[in-house]
Chain A
């Protein structure tokens, strides 16, 4: 008896062909259990995608709201024009600041008059504007971290000619808390769904393995390699995950279009807040399903011992 170390030409193709055939046969034979598994995987992925989309839309809304966030730097009464110019120069050079608007004392008075409307006459007692001149600064959204803004405001407060720095500290904290909560929820929820989908496929493949234990035993005794035994189950798992993912992405497309249509009909402004469905979803979701199911199948098969 000679050891046949070198694999004959086309051997792996034939084994792959056999595995595909065996997997297809099993899919056809156990169609109901496969159908239910695909459905469960699909539902799991749809829930995950729905959550990701809600998260993305909320993030998008938060980003849009964050764009209106500003810091107001009130200047001292006795500040000179040169000092004001120097401050403007300082703010323009700051990379954290996206936009700098100077509001003179008179402009501030005009603004307040507009706000007060018919009660604006109360300002007539003043010979000149009682309001200080100021800078309205818009920070770059990526720097909208409460701690960083607090630090920035403290730095600005120390600048010469600055009387007071104001910003919506509580608002910014709330915004930041919402964003952080969403991020944590995404991780927890994503992990839970990942485990659930993996476990669903794991259970199904485990049932198939149990049903075919005599066949596996015979294959082992006849000299089937580990990959020869594993491949049909892995292909079946891959099929379940990919099809579950594909169904899920179609379901998401249908429900997202429907919800978008209904929401825009009810609140037209939502059109600008809600982000459109990314086309990558048609690849990412089936691929994700395939990876999760493949992992489940791999764990289910476990170690093959002769």
Chain B
């Protein structure tokens, strides 16, 4: 469960989020939507502690995220899969090594890493491109590598920031299918997007942020 309790955040005295309260149930797939600058990315950053709230509390499972010390943040992040808007793939490592990095951080042995990485790449249908470098892949393929890296350590929460931003309709559909599949296995998935096509008729809850407040909640 992820809980936002009266959370506010400002950047240079300019409010980004104002008194946000939200409960995301375990195993839920939730969309956060709203115009650019509404605070969608900030909400995700607050969850993985890249930003700290000015007031209010954020809880992720039994973690009081807003009170975490610097030394506790890595452990929280190791339990969250993050899909970044700009991918954050390392161009000096192969697809396999990029995905394996998430497990090396956990201190997993080479045999297990090989097994889990192959499994994740198989899932995103990129096993045949494991030895390539990310810059030689298309945008959609790069996004699938990022998904493989985020899900390989089997996190309980998956955060995706504009996951289909630069992708065509076909690739966006593939990515959404992957998210549904991951969610189907019990992972809580949180997707920040401004693309209405992603959540229209999805049957999942949509939280619309506007003017720094939660304007409305509905089922897409």
Contact = CB atoms under 8 A, between A and B. Distances in A.
Chain A, interface size: which category?
Answer: 20 to 34
A28 interface: no
Contact of A223 (B61, B71, B105, B156): B105
A222 B107 contact: no
B74 A224 contact: yes
Interface in A1-51: 1-4, 7-8, 10-12, 14-15, 18
Given A1-B60, A1-B157, A306-B49, A228 B79 contact: no
B76 A223 contact: yes
B120 interface: no
A107 B166 CA distance: 109
A2 B75 contact: no
B147 interface: no
B78 to A, nearest CB: 3
B63 A3 contact: yes
B128 interface: no
B90 A218 contact: yes
B88 A224 contact: no
A10 B88 contact: no
Query: Residue among A1, A3, A225 with the most chain B CB within 10 A?
Result: A1
B108 interface: yes
A221 interface: yes
A14 B88 contact: no
B88 A223 contact: no
Given A3-B75, A215-B90, A18 B62 contact: no
Given A1-B157, A306-B74, A224 B105 contact: yes
B36 interface: no
B49 A11 contact: no
A106 interface: no
A3 B79 CA distance: 9
A228 B106 CA distance: 10
Interface string B70-82: 1101111111101
Q: Determine chain A's interface SS by DSSP, over half rule.
A: helix
Interface in A109-157: none
Interface in A191-226: 214-215, 217-226
Interface in B55-114: 60-63, 70-71, 73-80, 82, 84, 88, 90, 92, 101-102, 104-110
A170 interface: no
A18 B104 contact: yes
A90 interface: no
Contacts of B63: 1, 3
A223 B90 contact: no
A222 B61 contact: no
Interface string A172-193: 0000000000000000000000
Contact of A8 (B62, B107, B155): B107
Contact of B77 (A2, A222, A305): A222
B48 interface: yes
Given A219-B101, A222-B101, A10 B76 contact: no
A222 B100 CA distance: 11
A2 B109 contact: no
B79 A1 contact: yes
A218 B104 CA distance: 13
A221 B84 contact: yes
B50 interface: yes
A223 B62 contact: no
Given A7-B107, A14-B109, A306-B70, A221 B88 contact: yes
Nearest to A11: B107
A12 B107 contact: yes
A228 B105 contact: yes
Nearest to B104: A18
Contacts of B82: 221-222
Contacts of A225: 74, 105
For the complex of A and B, list the 6 residue pairs with the smallest distance between their C-beta atoms, beginning with the closest.
Answer: A11-B107, A223-B77, A223-B78, A1-B61, A306-B73, A1-B156
6 contacts: A1-B157, A3-B63, A14-B110, A15-B104, A220-B77, A224-B74
